[in-house]
């Protein structure tokens, strides 16, 4: 097998991907799924436990009504049918972070089934089928102490049961074929849209980096034109939207190399590495674990009253797709702009920046441009940046009135992100303002001309487009604090040509 990495274009020319996503969402309920313990994140280890979530003999669970309601609302928002009768099931396995030695989950009787979510990517809309939405409980958290951080080679391991029993909703898609080169983006856009829906429903704080939204990405490849789907791998540890896209892409490239070499893809769990951007093998799933599922005898079946379900349906908030359509209208942007803003997770940020007084074009450019870039570098989402839409609007206003150049406004953004201070404070502190002292600019222009005689001659000869390097030199001399258009005009004037 060749070790050279295949180009993505080569992969999609010869193979068809199928993707499938399993998403776990920790619900933001006040108490746990089957007991009254609190769910606060970051509490002292093992302070939020009781006999039920510790699985002590004789303790009995009671289902959290709010969690059931949230799950039904998620199902309704994803166009699912809601079961009129279903049960919890025991999924039996032993792992130290699960003190009961089984996880209370749902198996062949999920609460919500057969839905879909429409996902916009570029010009096209892909309908992602939803197989099931079910309710289960989270496990505790192991910490392996030692240099490796993994169980192998650890000196000892600690278990925190605060998370054990927090309500967890699993949303499983049907396999999605036919997306070709768009597969990585479809996967990302699906998770982005799902996250927006969950946020809008207010059922979870959907923080991928804190693990309240976790995604397993299934990918398979089959030769173009083949009728059978290939063997899938399931990639875990995908902690950001960007990683969802990268995980699908890198797995497609890896599987293509395997198939090119005449080997077969092994069905296994793989782990995504944020640092290398590729996947490493984890647990092999060739022998399927036997979880010995059976209906949970300690809990009554769920039989949601149809009139209650209808009431929940009526009371759903405006969902992101509808909100986007409405915002598109009121902001007056194109459908394509809207999709782009939505996939970047900046629709509301742009909306709020406009509400704070910025023109929509400027608001959009900042959030899709410099701010998106900053977020990307931090492997965060634009909404996680420590800058508020109102602060962006303030910067836009300062640029518009000529107090700041765009370059200076960017420096101000960096300073706000760094210090958490307000825009006006960082501007005052760092002396960020446009150099409008014409004398100083003229001296800098003359220096630039003297230092670049060749360029200056070209411009004198009528090639005004060649003035760029001189503008650059003046901007550099003024540490980016001059207005580039003004500098250009001064340079052309000093070189005796009209701008
Ligand atoms: P498991 O828990 O064993 O991973 P699930 O049914 O919970 O099984 O999830 C399987 C996921 O894999 C689903 O999202 C499904 O759409 C997806 N999937 C199934 N077959 C394929 C395939 N050939 N290629 C890509 N994804 C697939
Ligand atoms: Mg799975
Ligand atoms: Zn408890």
Minimum-distance ligand 1 atom for the alpha carbon of 218: 26
- The count of residues in the chain is 499
Q: Match 């003004």 to its residue by tokens.
A: 486
Residues 36 and 83 in one domain: yes
Q: How far apart are CA 273 and CA 171, in angstroms?
A: 23
Q: Which of 394, 409, 430 is the last residue of a domain?
A: 430
**Mutation test of ligand 1: which of 103, 115, 232, 279 has the most ligand atoms closer than 8 Å to its C-beta?**
232
Residue 140 within any structural domain of the chain = yes
Q: Please check whether residues 298 and 376 belong to one and the same domain.
A: no
Q: What does the pLDDT read at residue 103? A: 96
Give the number of the ligand closest to the Cα of residue 233: 1
From residue 271, alpha-carbon distances to 18, 251, 283 in Å are 19, 11, 9
Cα of 294 vs centre of ligand 3, distance in Å, is 23
Indicate whether 250 and 368 sit together in one domain.
no
What are 49's two structure tokens? 């436990």
**Ligand 2 midpoint to CA 218 (Å):** 8
Residues 302 and 330 in one domain: no
18 alpha carbon, closest ligand? 1
Tell me the ligand closest to 54's alpha carbon. 3
Q: How far does the centroid of ligand 1 lie from the alpha carbon of residue 53, in Å? A: 29
In a shared domain, residues 128 and 57:
yes
Give domain status of residue 313, yes or no. Answer: no
Ligand 1, residues at Cβ distance < 6 Å = 18-22, 172-175, 218-220, 229, 232, 234
Least Cα distance to 339 among 195, 200, 194, 189 occurs for 189
Do 378 and 483 reside in the same domain of the chain? Answer: no
pLDDT of amino acid 301: 97
Smallest CA separation from ligand 1 atom 22, residue: 232
Q: What is the pairing mode between strands 167-173 and 233-238? A: unpaired
- pLDDT in the model for residue 190: 97
Asked if residue 359 belongs to a domain, the reply is yes
- Cβ-in-10-Å burial (0-12, 13-18, 19+) of 305 comes to exposed
pLDDT at residue 121, rounded to an integer? 87
447 and 399 co-located in one domain: no
Which domain-ending residue is among 430, 446, 473? 430
C-alpha 19 – ligand 1 centre gap (Å): 8
Q: Is 167 exposed, middle or buried (0-12, 13-18, 19+ CB in 10 A)?
A: buried
Q: Residues 6 or more apart from 157 whose CB is under 8 A from it?
A: 96, 142, 143, 144, 145, 151
For position 287, what pLDDT does the model report? 56
CA distance 443 to 436: 13
Judge whether 316 lies within some domain. no
Q: Whose CA is nearest to atom 2 of ligand 1?
A: 22
User: Ligand 2: distance of its center to the CA of 268 in Å?
Assistant: 11
Q: Which burial class, exposed, middle or buried, applies to 287 when counting CB atoms under 10 A from its CB (0-12, 13-18, 19+)?
A: exposed
For residues 1 and 253, the answer to whether their CB atoms sit within 8 Å is no
In a domain, 19, yes or no: yes
Same domain? For 19 and 167 the reply is yes
- Average of per-residue pLDDT values in the chain: 92
306 C-alpha to ligand 1 centroid (Å): 30
Inside any domain, residue 487: yes
Query: What is the value of pTM for the model shown?
Result: 0.78
At 308 the pLDDT is 98
The three-class DSSP label of residue 79 is: coil
> Domain boundary at 408, 430, 452, which?
430
Q: Are residue 272 and residue 332 in the same domain, yes or no?
A: no
Q: Which residues does the chain have with pLDDT short of 50?
A: 1-2
In a domain? residue 499 = no
Residue 1: its pLDDT value, please? 46
User: Which residue among 17, 108, 114, 172 has the greatest number of ligand 1 atoms within 8 angstroms of its CB, and so is best to mutate?
Assistant: 172
Among 19, 218, 235, 287, residue to substitute to test ligand 1 (most atoms within 8 Å of Cβ):
218
Per the listing, tokens 């920046």 go with 353
Domain residues for 295?
Answer: 8-307
**Across the strands, what pairs with 102?**
92
User: Do 96 and 65 belong together in one domain?
Assistant: yes
CA distances from 22 to 71, 277, 386, 419 (A): 15, 20, 30, 38
Any idea what the CATH number is for the domain that residue 466 is in?
1.10.10
- Same domain (yes/no): 156, 269: yes
187 alpha carbon, closest ligand: 1
Q: What is the pLDDT of residue 174?
A: 98
Number of structural domains (the chain) is: 3
Please give the backbone phi and psi of residue 387, each rounded to the nearest 5 degrees, phi first: -140, 135
Q: Are residues 405 and 290 part of one domain?
A: no
Instruction: Confirm if 133 and 71 have CB atoms less than 8 A apart.
Output: yes
Q: Which two tokens stand for residue 130?
A: 């939803």
The two beta strands, 213-223 and 81-82, are unpaired
Token pair belonging to 178: 């036919």
State the DSSP code for 80: P
Q: Looking at the domain assignment, is residue 225 inside a domain?
A: yes
Tokens of 243: 């990683």
Which pLDDT score, from 0 to 100, does residue 152 have?
Answer: 81
* 130 C-alpha to ligand 1 centroid (Å): 11
């Amino acid at each position: 097998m060749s070790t050279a990495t295949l180009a993505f274009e080569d992969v999609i020319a010869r193979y068809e991907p199928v993707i499938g996503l399993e998403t776990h969402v920790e619900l933001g309920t006040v108490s746990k799924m089957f007991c009254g313990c609190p769910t606060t994140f970051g509490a002292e280890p093992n302070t939020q436990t009781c006999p039920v979530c510790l699985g002590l003999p004789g303790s009995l669970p009671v289902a959290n009504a709010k969690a059931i309601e949230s799950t039904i609302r998620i199902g309704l928002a994803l166009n699912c049918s809601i079961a009129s009768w279903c049960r919890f099931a025991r999924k039996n396995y032993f792992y130290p972070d699960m003190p009961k030695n089984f996880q209370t989950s749902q198996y062949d009787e999920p609460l919500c089934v057969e839905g879909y979510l429409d996902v916009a990517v570029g010009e096209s809309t892909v309908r992602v089928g939803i197989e099931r939405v079910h309710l289960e409980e989270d496990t505790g958290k192991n910490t392996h102490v030692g240099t490796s951080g993994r169980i192998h080679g650890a000196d000892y391991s600690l278990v925190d049961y605060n998370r054990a029993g927090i309500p967890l909703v699993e949303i499983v898609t049907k396999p999605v074929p036919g997306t070709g080169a768009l597969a990585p983006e479809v996967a990302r856009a699906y998770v982005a849209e799902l996250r927006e829906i969950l946020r809008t429903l207010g059922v979870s704080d959907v923080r991928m980096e804190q693990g309240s939204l976790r995604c397993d990405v299934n990918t398979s490849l089959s030769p173009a034109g083949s009728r059978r789907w290939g063997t899938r791998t399931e990639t875990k540890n995908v902690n950001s939207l960007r990683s969802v896209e990268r995980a699908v892409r890198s797995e497609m490239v890896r599987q293509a190399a395997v198939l090119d070499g005449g080997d077969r893809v092994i069905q296994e769990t793989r782990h995504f590495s944020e640092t290398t951007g590729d996947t490493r093998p984890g647990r092999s799933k060739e022998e399927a674990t036997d979880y010995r599922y059976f209906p949970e005898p300690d809990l009554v079946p769920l039989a949601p009253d149809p009139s209650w379900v209808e009431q929940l349906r009526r009371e759903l908030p405006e969902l992101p797709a509808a909100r986007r359509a409405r915002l598109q209208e009121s902001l007056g942007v194109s459908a394509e702009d809207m999709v782009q803003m939505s996939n970047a997770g900046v629709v509301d940020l742009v909306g709020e920046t406009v509400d704070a007084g910025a023109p929509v074009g400027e608001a959009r450019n900042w959030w899709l441009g410099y701010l998106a870039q900053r977020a990307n570098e931090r492997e965060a989402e634009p909404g996680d940046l420590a800058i508020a839409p109102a602060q962006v609007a303030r910067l836009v206003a300062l640029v518009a009135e000529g107090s700041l150049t765009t370059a200076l406004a960017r420096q101000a953004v960096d300073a706000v992100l760094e210090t958490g201070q307000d825009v006006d404070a960082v501007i005052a502190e760092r002396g960020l303002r446009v150099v409008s002292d014409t004398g100083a600019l003229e001296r800098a222009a003359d220096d630039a001309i003297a230092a670049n005689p060749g360029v200056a001659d070209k411009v004198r000869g009528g090639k005004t487009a060649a003035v760029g390097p001189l503008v650059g030199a003046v901007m550099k001399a003024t540490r980016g604090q001059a207005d580039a258009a003004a500098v250009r005009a001064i340079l052309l004037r000093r070189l005796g040509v009209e701008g």
